Structure 1
Amino acid sequence: MTVILDRPYQFVPPSRGNLWPALIQRFRVVDHYLRKKEGVVSYECRNLDVFQQSLARGDGILLAPNHCRYADPLVMGWPARHAKTPVYAMASWHLFNESWFDSFAIRRMGAFSIFREGSDRKALDTAIEILAAAERPLIVFPEGTTNRTNDVLKPLLDGVTFMARASARRRAKQQGGNVVMHPIAIKYLCKTKIDPWAHHQLSRMESHLGWTTSPSRSIRQRTIRLAEALLGLREVQYLGSSRAGELHQRRDELIEYLLSTTETRLQMPSSDPDVRTRVRAIRTKVSAKWFTENPDEQERLRLRNDVVAADLAQELVSYPNCYLESADVTDSRIVETIQRMQESLWGKADVGIELHAVIEFDSEIAIPAEKAPRGVEDPLITELRDRLSSMIARLSKESRPID
């Protein structure tokens, strides 16, 4: 569960010193962690020179990568190492509550908290201050949350460009100079053929469901079959029985049931078509009720279940339409889907497949000091989305196709 209900939110500021980031880079702590915990064993930085040019000019720099894996924030430590600069990063508050070591480490690497379940003026002010002063580059993931679909960009949060424009205004007033944003595409490629790993992991999950292995089926067929089975289990859990129909239709119907029944119980009907917006609203409502209304134990259990349902809806929407169609399926898509299913079943994915991270920088987008025009999408969001989508689509072709 990603909403912290054990204690109310408290802003966690970043560690401002340079000693810890320097030590972490010198002793390759990021490399060891990524290899052991995420299976990311190598990397390459592309077009790093455009980032270095922004650093040399003294610009306030906002780094805006796509966010498809938990490894992404640490992977961004590699270009920082090559550019010889520490960085700051905005991170969800729940990450500071995983363990004392994680909280200690991510603060020392420059992370500060953001409260996703409500307004967080301190986090916003901290980000604006960092960019206006050009203190260090700031990493913000414009998708907001990870999705484990490397080839699909999720909707971007408009708060990213609001923050960028506000910092550009402050920088212009205080000391002059520019604020720029660099779109960054992160793509994970499988180092070796995935067949032995994939067949083994699929057999583990099939055995968990009481199935016998089906050696006659391809990796793609077995993966789709398992996805259908896991969806069916969720349908039984929430709807009472599994449904018939196309996989994407069944997914959408279950998502709508999860969200609409939760919204009705919380008395917060929504007509917003975006699933993630509705999920964030549910999380915000649950957090507010938990900490302001002093609910009894029965209501607390219901609120916990509300968050679980919202989290499941967000998990389900991370299975894109046509992601495993035969014409487009690649080894990295298979690996992502298998690992996502393992997280759903066991809470943890197997990281035995070795990954190579490509971190590609795009040229800077100059941030204007003016406020965004009203009544239309911020042109900065449009440009950021278009650039990221183009880069991701191109990098997706570097994965191996799977029959």
Structure 2
Amino acid sequence: MRRLRNDLPYTFRPPKLENWLRPLGLAINRAVHLKRKYRIAKIEAKGFEKVRELNEAGHSVMLAPNHSDHSDPHVVMEIASRHGMRPLFMAAREIFEVSPIASWALQGMGVFSVDRDGPDLSAIKTAITLLEKAADPLVIFPEGEIYHHHRRLDPLNEGVASILLKAAARLPAGKNAYLVPVGLRFFHDTEVEATFSDRLSKLEDRIGWTPKPRMPIDDRIHRLGTGVLALKETEYLGQAGSGTVQDRLTRLCEELLTLAEGRYPRDAKAVTPPERVRALRFRIRRRLLDGEKPPTPAERELLLDDLDRVFTALQAHSYIGDYLLEDPTLDRRAETILKLEEDLYGFPTYPIDRTARVIAGEPICVSEMLVSGVLPAKGGALPLTELLEMRLDGLLSSAS
């Protein structure tokens, strides 16, 4: 999870698919992103033949994968291309702000931006239009954020279901809208275990501790995680907390969100921590960019500090206290260390080859559910999101 401490005005970037760019983009994706950057040595896929059949028949297809790793969109793009499809992606605005060249390349490959913190009508309209055209599958990650725990989902954003329902209502006779859950799991080569001790030593040194290479790996991970949590509690709350790790994570998240919400109008519809974070970021950035009444230097600094607070709240929420202790497998150890590296260094490391296992679940025919009355025309986003969450949970459990 990457820090979002900026006050840049948002500019919508639409998709500008360039056919000549696609072969080059796919080659770079394989050689640079998958092989070198994310160390994806092998991709195993199931269920995409059905997706291709629906796409070739002219139906609207939305792929909704879980989002647990930075390589997720690169893996989905590669799998889709192997099956003769050209997927379009909705992606966070921040990746377009890296550089003009990055923005141009992303748009040329069919990626368009979305501001996750506000009502981005341009992104919503674009997604609906693309689904209406039904030329290519549309990929949207309903979790929104990357949490690095591959076996558990975070609450899904209802916006994905809402977009598909609106598109389904506009399709002509004979064309259906399908929602396809996609389960993504990553498995590490056993050689990754040999990297744990040195990487943990560097992380311990990062927070000023003396490395403990002779301590059992699970104890070191738990000790390090607890130490980082105590540092964050002390930074924001004045002292380290007590109780179980999960209780402390929940308390830190809640207190930071409550503190920030005391300075801005509360969004009554925002209930879960990710929803509350998005609502707060929207209000904070809107104030930072107020051209009619710009914030004073002191207020601006407080606003930026509040962005840090809500970021830390989301970080706390993203950790599951018993994730490693519940099932201390090789992959869960690797995931937890990688997550700690990203939070302490600002970026993760991928030292050893991995295998991506991707399963496209049974397509959900949203059009038929609407016609039969299983899904109501209004208010259908919630039950459809719950169905998607149940299907994704099943896929993640089966991809072992």
TM-score normalised over the length of structure 1: 0.91
Distance in 2 (alpha carbons) for counterparts of 1:384 and 1:307 = 31
Residue 347 of structure 1 corresponds to: 346
Q: Cα distance, 1:163 vs. partner?
A: 0.6
1:266 is paired with a residue of what secondary structure?
Answer: coil
2:12 is paired with a residue of what secondary structure?
Answer: coil
Residue 382 of structure 1 corresponds to: 386
User: Is 1:2 the counterpart of 2:4 in the alignment?
Assistant: yes
Q: Is the 8 A contact 2:46 2:360 kept in 1?
A: yes
Residue 243 of structure 1 is aligned with which of 225, 237, 241? 241
**How many residue pairs align between the two structures?**
391
Look up the equivalent residue of 2:333 and give its one-letter code. Answer: I
Q: Give a deviation string over 1:105-132, Cα, whole Å, max 9, x none.
A: 2222211011112111111111111111
Q: Cα distance, 1:4 vs. partner?
A: 4.3
Look up the equivalent residue of 1:22 and give its one-letter code. Answer: P
Q: Cα distance, 1:208 vs. partner?
A: 2.4
Residue 401 of structure 1 corresponds to: none
Q: Is the 8 A contact 1:3 1:283 kept in 2?
A: no
Q: Cα distance, 1:179 vs. partner?
A: 1.3
Q: Is the 8 A contact 1:263 1:270 kept in 2?
A: no
Summarize the Cα distance change of 1:271–1:363 in structure 2 as closer, same or farther, 3 Å threshold. Answer: closer
Distance in 1 (alpha carbons) for counterparts of 2:23 and 2:349 = 31
Summarize the Cα distance change of 1:209–1:287 in structure 2 as closer, same or farther, 3 Å threshold. Answer: closer
Q: Is the 8 A contact 1:31 1:41 kept in 2?
A: no
1:265 is paired with a residue of what secondary structure?
Answer: coil
Distance in 2 (alpha carbons) for counterparts of 1:21 and 1:347 = 30
After superposition, residues 25-44 of structure 1 pair within 5 angstroms as 25=26, 27-44=27-44
TM-score normalised over the length of structure 2: 0.92
Residue 15 of structure 1 corresponds to: 16
Look up the equivalent residue of 2:194 and give its one-letter code. Answer: P
2:123 is paired with a residue of what secondary structure?
Answer: helix
User: Is 1:364 the counterpart of 2:363 in the alignment?
Assistant: yes
Distance in 2 (alpha carbons) for counterparts of 1:282 and 1:73 = 27
After superposition, residues 4-403 of structure 1 pair within 5 angstroms as 4-6=6-8, 8-25=9-26, 27-172=27-172, 176-268=174-266, 273-292=271-290, 293-325=293-325, 327-368=326-367, 372=376, 378-395=382-399, 398=400
Q: Is the 8 A contact 2:29 2:74 kept in 1?
A: no
Q: Give a deviation string over 1:122-146, Cα, whole Å, max 9, x none.
A: 1111111111110211000111121
Q: Is the 8 A contact 1:21 1:110 kept in 2?
A: no
Distance in 1 (alpha carbons) for counterparts of 2:174 and 2:295 = 50
Distance in 1 (alpha carbons) for counterparts of 2:225 and 2:321 = 13
Q: Is the 8 A contact 2:54 2:61 kept in 1?
A: yes
RMSD of aligned C-alpha atoms? 2.0
Summarize the Cα distance change of 1:214–1:352 in structure 2 as closer, same or farther, 3 Å threshold. Answer: same
Q: Is the 8 A contact 2:52 2:84 kept in 1?
A: no
Q: Give a deviation string over 1:1-55, Cα, whole Å, max 9, x none.
A: 326413x211101013322123322x35334222332232321111221212212
Q: Cα distance, 1:356 vs. partner?
A: 1.1
Unaligned segments of structure 2, at least 5 residues: none
1:112 is paired with a residue of what secondary structure?
Answer: strand
Unaligned segments of structure 1, at least 5 residues: 399-403
Q: Is the 8 A contact 2:13 2:112 kept in 1?
A: yes
Q: Give a deviation string over 1:324-345, Cα, whole Å, max 9, x none.
A: 11x5122221112112111221
Distance in 1 (alpha carbons) for counterparts of 2:338 and 2:86 = 31
